[in-house]
Structure 1
Amino acid sequence: MPQNSIQYQYKPENFHLSEPNKYQPEQLKREEMILSLGPQHPSTHGVLRIEVITDGELIVDVVPHVGYLHRCFEKHAESMPYNQVIPYVDRMDYLAAMNNEHAYVMGVERMLGIEKEIPKRVEYIRVLVAELNRIASHFVAIGTYGLDIGAYTPFLWLMRDREHIQRLLEWTCGARMLYNYIWIGGLFYDLPVGFEERCRDFVRYLKPKLLELQKLVIENKIFIQRTANIGILPLPMAINYGCSGPILRASGLRFDLRRVDGYSVYPELEFEIPIGSGEMGTLGDCWDRNNVRVLECHESLRIIEQCLDRLQTDLKRTRDFDPQAMVPKKIRPKAMDFYIRAENPKGELGYFFRADGKSDIPFRCKARSCCFHNLSVLPEISKGALIADLIAIIGSLDLVMGEVDR
């Protein structure tokens, strides 16, 4: 043993196990510890670093650190023409690229004043592919959430069913995730011959699978115990932090831009807006957020069926139909500031444009990220929770960091 070391010896007289605790509770000091989750932690949904201040197993505070997946979308958009920005739009929320494109394209079309000239068949195809992508995005959210809290089977089931959607969209435009399909003034191409029939077969296949998913996951006793009364987000707090999408609706507010703004052909379609009920716990908890996503998948199937009905009856494909007929040769909006918003799978995605009237390149283009606002509420709903519950809370927010760090 080194000379400078101290040798500790066990002496029974130093331990008085039978003696009552001489320290009063108010004299005990809390010992806080700082933990770091990420940026490569598998349960932080991408490159998100969470700084957690804990007191034992209890969370005292949470500090999100972003910027590990910076897409530079806004500066890319300010250096190229409007129509060449679409591939970069795909890369923000890369799980819902069709929805990103739909919102961006609508904004530019309204700036040009051609939104009412878009053919109905084009509009219905846009809504059809956007709702397919909405289901695919929710499947990733619910499936990976099962992995976060220890359930492996739901992830396999949902990735299996999501693969059908990926193949349909790949058949449409040749890409599996980053599509570049919805163009300003039209589409890259019309739907392939036979797409409507195969899509209808998929809808018939998926309906009973969603009911199985509800029984396997949402109504599962263990799932309820892990998510009910966890990460409760009161409605006033959700509004103050700018939350939107399933996060906001799970707190009880029936707010959906497809109904509120009535863009594209959504006013012509029938569907419900699911909201949280607090059925298994408290309104606005993790269980409500996942339940709302599953219910939205049912409503998206209703929308898809209605789109297929229109596309196969009064909006049938014809030889003279050109989905690029309204695509402008030169895109040069008048000098203006313009904001457009749309209902993405994760919430309100908005684009702010500033056009100088002289160039076909946006002078300013800024994206309003729904994931960024939904992430900002994380510290408030995590305080007082357990470390294991923090993973469940993060997963329930359904974050994609490519949009947060845009």
Structure 2
Amino acid sequence: MTTQTIQYEYAPGHFKASEPSVYQPEMLDEGEMILNMGPQHPSTHGVLRFEVVTNGEIIVDVVPHLGYLHRCFEKHAQSLPFNQTIPFVDRLDYLAAMNSEHAFVMGVEKMLGIQNDIPKRTEYIRVLVAELNRIAAHFVGIGTYALDIGAYTPFLWLMRDREHIQRLLEWVSGARMLYNYIWVGGLFYDLPVGFEERCREFISYLKPKLVELKQLVIENEIFVKRTANVGVLPLSVAIDYGCTGPMLRGSGLRYDLRRVDGYSVYPELDFAIPIGEGKMGTVGDCWDRNNVRVLECHESIRIVEQCLDQLLGDHKRTREYDPQAVVPKKIRPKAMDFYARAESSKGELGFFFRTDGKSDVPVRCKARSCCFHNLSVISEISKGAMLADLVAIIGSIDVVMGEVDR
């Protein structure tokens, strides 16, 4: 009887079997060595490890080892009716749950052919909460990125302001982060009385804070030196790897599904699509990606203000309005293959459904994760960089592992 020995590495909260390395010693050239790096980012502890091949201080290759989170979203979605899957959608990118819900629900509605029956007030509320959540998600990405490269104060300030958004969304849905608020055909409930006025007060408070953020972080001389000309992602490489969101726009392409697909009420709203322009270094570097996220926060504020104007004006609260009026009693689409997508805070979040026409449970549900595609380019943008810059490159991707290991 033979005995197999398995090495175990400690990860917070549990032990996991050590995954074999891609590189073996005999594969290395003279002077090269293998380093295991991570976790370096608050989102990666225990669920992401980087196998780094270095030659002195220069990076030769980076291999990300994914998994260990075991979200199993797709298996859950293939075991439950569409409407009962929404709480699991929240747990993909748990920092932008409203955006994920919006994408999934719109996909199911288009598959059922009821997308044109959704009341306008419902659509404006959906966009309002999604854009508030986009700001909150970007605040986490920018704040933890500053923390990664040694700046502690911006992280605390951004978490403070994010907390205001979390409280607003908790007031709306009853949950702090995982909302289950956007339903197929409508909403869990209308906005609370007084929400629109409170949200306006918050927007007035937030605008000068974004000016402070730019001065404190984005234009900070130390931050610029750590991020400009580092981790440059050429546009052609970004397209080849399927990068989307701020990763793609940071490389200079003005591509945003809110404009390209024109879903929900976005075609009726006025907002710009920021892109990287290489103001501090090279187009597509770490600085550009973070600057795009900050500029997107400004544009999300513009969208929120326009939604509030509509919700307090033409589409104000009435006794006749029922946020669940179009919610189907039974979701049973025809037999088909269907793909729907939307712009999450990290990029294109898509859902593929395969249905048999007999059940309200999909035969196949596949999530197209923007975080997975964005993370896959790490090797390309790290080769030739200094080892000390790898932390800055990883953080600039703004990855959430709940969406990667699905």
TM-score of the superposed pair, with normalisation by structure 1: 0.92
Rounded to whole Å, the distance in 1 between the matches of 2:69 and 2:42 is 16
List per-residue Cα deviations over 1:363-396 (Å, max 9, x = no partner).
Answer: 1100000000000100010011111100000000
Query: Match for residue 95 of structure 1?
Result: 95
Rounded to whole Å, the distance in 2 between the matches of 1:242 and 1:90 is 23
List per-residue Cα deviations over 1:188-220 (Å, max 9, x = no partner).
Answer: 000000000000001010000001100110000
Query: Does the 8 Å CA contact 2:123/2:264 hold for their aligned counterparts?
Result: yes
Query: Does 2:42 match 1:57?
Result: no
Query: Match for residue 350 of structure 2?
Result: 350
Count of aligned pairs: 377
- Once the two structures are TM-superposed, the CA of residue 322 in structure 1 deviates from its matched residue by 1.0
- Once the two structures are TM-superposed, the CA of residue 42 in structure 1 deviates from its matched residue by 4.1
Q: What does residue range 268-279 of structure 1 map to in structure 2 within 5 Å?
A: 268-279=268-279
TM-score of the superposed pair, with normalisation by structure 2: 0.92
- Once the two structures are TM-superposed, the CA of residue 41 in structure 1 deviates from its matched residue by 4.2
Other structure's SS at 1:61 match: strand
Q: What letter is aligned with 1:81?
A: P
Rounded to whole Å, the distance in 2 between the matches of 1:55 and 1:313 is 63
* Structure 2 spans left out of the alignment, 5+ residues: 1-28
Q: What does residue range 21-170 of structure 1 map to in structure 2 within 5 Å?
A: 30-38=30-38, 40-42=39-41, 45-46=44-45, 47-170=47-170
Query: Does the 8 Å CA contact 1:62/1:383 hold for their aligned counterparts?
Result: yes
Rounded to whole Å, the distance in 2 between the matches of 1:43 and 1:382 is 20
Query: Match for residue 3 of structure 1?
Result: none
- Once the two structures are TM-superposed, the CA of residue 120 in structure 1 deviates from its matched residue by 0.3
Query: Does the 8 Å CA contact 1:44/1:391 hold for their aligned counterparts?
Result: no
Query: Match for residue 298 of structure 1?
Result: 298
Q: What does residue range 137-216 of structure 1 map to in structure 2 within 5 Å?
A: 137-216=137-216
- Once the two structures are TM-superposed, the CA of residue 265 in structure 1 deviates from its matched residue by 0.3
123-132 vs 51-60, greater mean Cα deviation: 51-60
Other structure's SS at 1:35 match: strand
Rounded to whole Å, the distance in 1 between the matches of 2:381 and 2:329 is 49
- Once the two structures are TM-superposed, the CA of residue 146 in structure 1 deviates from its matched residue by 0.5
> Percent of aligned pairs with the same residue?
78
Query: Match for residue 391 of structure 1?
Result: 391
Q: What letter is aligned with 1:380?
A: E
- Once the two structures are TM-superposed, the CA of residue 234 in structure 1 deviates from its matched residue by 0.3
Query: Match for residue 360 of structure 1?
Result: 360
- Once the two structures are TM-superposed, the CA of residue 308 in structure 1 deviates from its matched residue by 0.1
List per-residue Cα deviations over 1:344-375 (Å, max 9, x = no partner).
Answer: 00000000001110001011100000000000
List per-residue Cα deviations over 1:273-296 (Å, max 9, x = no partner).
Answer: 000000000000000000000000
Rounded to whole Å, the distance in 1 between the matches of 2:271 and 2:353 is 31
Rounded to whole Å, the distance in 2 between the matches of 1:290 and 1:142 is 7
* Structure 1 spans left out of the alignment, 5+ residues: 1-28
- Once the two structures are TM-superposed, the CA of residue 30 in structure 1 deviates from its matched residue by 3.7
Q: CA RMSD in A?
A: 1.0
